[in-house]
């Protein structure tokens, strides 16, 4: 059975994303850090990894981006997980909660709910970790914010579901491994590159894709480690590198850029129809 590595405790949203992509019966292994996850793929302790790279509310997850640059792994797939945050506690304690623990980002995404209910927010190292620790050492008047999967794993009661302030809050995950995927329809290609130090360096690189009508989906800059004041760009575009136009654009990028690394071409995740409709209505309002 394929072993899939994720960062965090069991019940983390990364594990939930793994189940969404590979089924609830998938064999998952937890890693304490992103570095441990990538190392588990390097030495074949796991065949695939599921890594968060971007959140629709909080933006890019920089640590994951840095590791993608520095390891010889490829993106093989993409997962869009709707992040649904739930208030959990030990069974029978639902009406007595005064303090709520979770990862700082989860707490910030539920700030409205916490303020309306006069609940004290206490930062914890991990969403699933807060659930695991409460189940191991039950405390009166304490709740946690975590996934429904964490509630199932640790035997906690779901007091209230979907307490996040943003109804359509997504985290984008990528599936990484040593191999590459074959050419598919609805593909996406991820690339990291650096530009030469001239005034039109970035625009010249991007023009290779614009001239071929290839849609730019994401462009994010990051400091280049060990090169002070130099930056790399993480770019996602529509298409597969084996497609003629996309392949030609990448070749043009190689000719103009200071360096280029292909992170992979892979099937793009599809957002559920009901969520696309809801977001369209929100934008119109």
Q: List CB contacts of 112: < 8 A, sequence separation 6 or more.
A: 165
Phi, psi of 81 (to 5 degrees): -110, 125
Distance CA 221, CA 219 (A): 7
Task: List the 216-223 sheet strands across, edge first.
Answer: 216-223, 231-238, 187-194, 259-267
Distance CA 260, CA 213 (A): 21
Catalytic, out of 6, 22, 34, 173? 173
- What does the angle CA 88 – CA 117 – CA 166 come to, to the nearest 5 degrees? 70
For residue 171, indicate whether it is catalytic: yes
Using alpha carbons, list the distances in angstroms from residue 193 to 1, 2, 69, 187, 198.
Answer: 35, 32, 10, 20, 15
Catalytic, out of 171, 195, 209, 233? 171
Distance CA 196, CA 209 (A): 18
CA nearest neighbour of 115 among 134, 100, 137, 94: 100
CB atoms within 10 A of CB 62: 13
For residue 204, indicate whether it is catalytic: no
Which residues form the catalytic set?
A: 171, 173
């Amino acid at each position: 059975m394929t072993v899939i590595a994720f960062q965090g405790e069991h019940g983390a949203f990364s594990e939930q994303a793994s189940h969404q992509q590979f089924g609830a019966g998938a064999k998952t292994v937890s890693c304490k850090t992103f570095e441990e996850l990538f190392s588990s793929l390097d030495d074949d302790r796991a065949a695939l990894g599921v890594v968060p790279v971007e959140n629709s509310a909080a933006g890019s997850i920089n640590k994951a981006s840095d590791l993608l640059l520095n390891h010889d792994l490829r993106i093989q797939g993409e997962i869009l997980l709707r992040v649904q945050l739930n208030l959990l506690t030990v069974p029978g304690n639902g009406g007595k909660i005064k303090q709520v623990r979770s990862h700082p980002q989860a707490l910030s995404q539920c700030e409205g709910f916490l303020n309306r209910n006069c609940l004290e927010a206490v930062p914890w190292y991990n969403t699933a970790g807060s659930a695991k620790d409460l189940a191991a050492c039950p405390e009166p008047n304490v709740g946690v914010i975590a996934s429904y999967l964490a509630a199932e794993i640790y035997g906690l009661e779901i007091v209230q579901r979907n307490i996040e302030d943003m109804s359509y809050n997504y985290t984008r995950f990528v599936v990484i491994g040593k191999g590459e995927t074959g050419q598919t329809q609805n593909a996406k290609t991820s690339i990291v590159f650096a530009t030469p130090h001239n005034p039109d360096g970035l625009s010249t690189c991007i023009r290779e894709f614009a001239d071929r009508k290839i849609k730019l989906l994401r462009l994010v800059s990051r400091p280049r480690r060990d090169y002070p004041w130099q930056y790399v760009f993480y770019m996602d575009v529509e298409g597969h590198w084996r497609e003629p136009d996309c392949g030609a654009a990448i070749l043009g990028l190689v000719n103009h850029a200071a360096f280029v690394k292909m992170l992979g071409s892979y099937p793009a995740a599809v957002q559920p129809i009901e969520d696309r409709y809801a977001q369209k209505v929100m934008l119109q309002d």
